[in-house]
């Protein structure tokens, strides 16, 4: 019996996780879980989406999207990051439950939320880390999102801090530790198509 591919992707800010993740999911024919996670957690907890987003590990990406759409002030972005670091146990527990349910039910590509740690004992999961030198990640964010260099650098610093603090606070791990992953890819030096091909090949090994 064929088992659908299951991939977790941890991505530093500017490494292209929100672009590469959906492309991998499409290539593998499975669901992509990123923005849907806080929406479903909010439904389960009976809280607003704003509350769920304020406690979500993807806050760095959320800040980037908001800044692009609504010209969010950098000072406010920093405050939002600090709110994200103070994530509550209820939000973490429901997020973890949702990830485990998808792993049990079938394939998916899961972006962030310490999924590599949560599913580290899952025999069929492939864990991927997307990273790159800070300067190249900043340049990539500037190109893709249209940010100024100062805004992209600020978002990189705050986004990386928020993601790393989430994993460290709840799971006692360093999100940058290569031992957590099967693949660590510099997605600032390899094209998107190449990265997608490498991940898809590993997931269907």
What is the per-residue pLDDT across 94-151, written as a single tens digit (0 to 9) for each?
A: 889 989 988 888 789 999 989 999 999 999 999 999 999 999 999 999 998 888 999 9
Could you tell me the CA-to-CA distances from 195 to 21, 151, 188, 204 in Å, in that order? 10, 26, 10, 14
| Distance, CA of 38 to CA of 135 (rounded, Å) | 30
Span 23-47, pLDDT tens digits: 999 999 999 988 777 788 778 878 7
| Distance, CA of 87 to CA of 51 (rounded, Å) | 10
Is pTM beyond 0.75? Reply is yes
Reference 93, options 63, 120, 121, 114; nearest CA is 114
| Structure-block tokens of residue 12 | 């530093």
| 47 conformational bin, left if phi > 0, alpha if psi -120 to 50, beta if neither | beta
Q: Which domains does the chain have, with CATH numbers?
A: 6-203 (3.40.50.300)
């Amino acid at each position: 019996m064929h088992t659908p591919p299951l991939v977790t992707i941890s991505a530093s800010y500017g490494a292209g996780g929100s672009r590469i993740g959906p492309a991998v999911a499409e290539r593998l024919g499975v669901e992509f879980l990123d923005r849907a996670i806080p929406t479903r957690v909010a439904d389960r907890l009976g809280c607003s989406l704003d509350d769920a987003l304020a406690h979500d590990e993807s806050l760095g990406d959320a800040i980037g999207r908001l800044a692009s759409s609504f010209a969010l002030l950098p000072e406010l972005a920093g405050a939002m990051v600090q709110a994200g670091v103070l994530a509550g146990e209820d939000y973490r527990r429901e997020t973890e439950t949702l990830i485990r349910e998808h792993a049990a039910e079938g394939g998916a590509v899961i972006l962030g939320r310490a999924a590599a740690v949560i599913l580290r004992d899952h025999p069929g999961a492939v864990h991927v880390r997307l990273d790159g030198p800070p300067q190249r990640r900043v340049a990539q964010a500037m190109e893709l999102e249209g940010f100024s260099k100062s805004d992209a650098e600020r978002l990189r610093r705050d986004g990386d801090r928020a993601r790393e603090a989430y994993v460290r606070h709840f799971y006692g791990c360093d999100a940058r530790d290569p031992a957590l992953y099967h693949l660590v890819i510099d997605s600032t030096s390899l094209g998107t198509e190449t990265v997608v091909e490498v991940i898809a090949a590993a997931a269907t090994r």
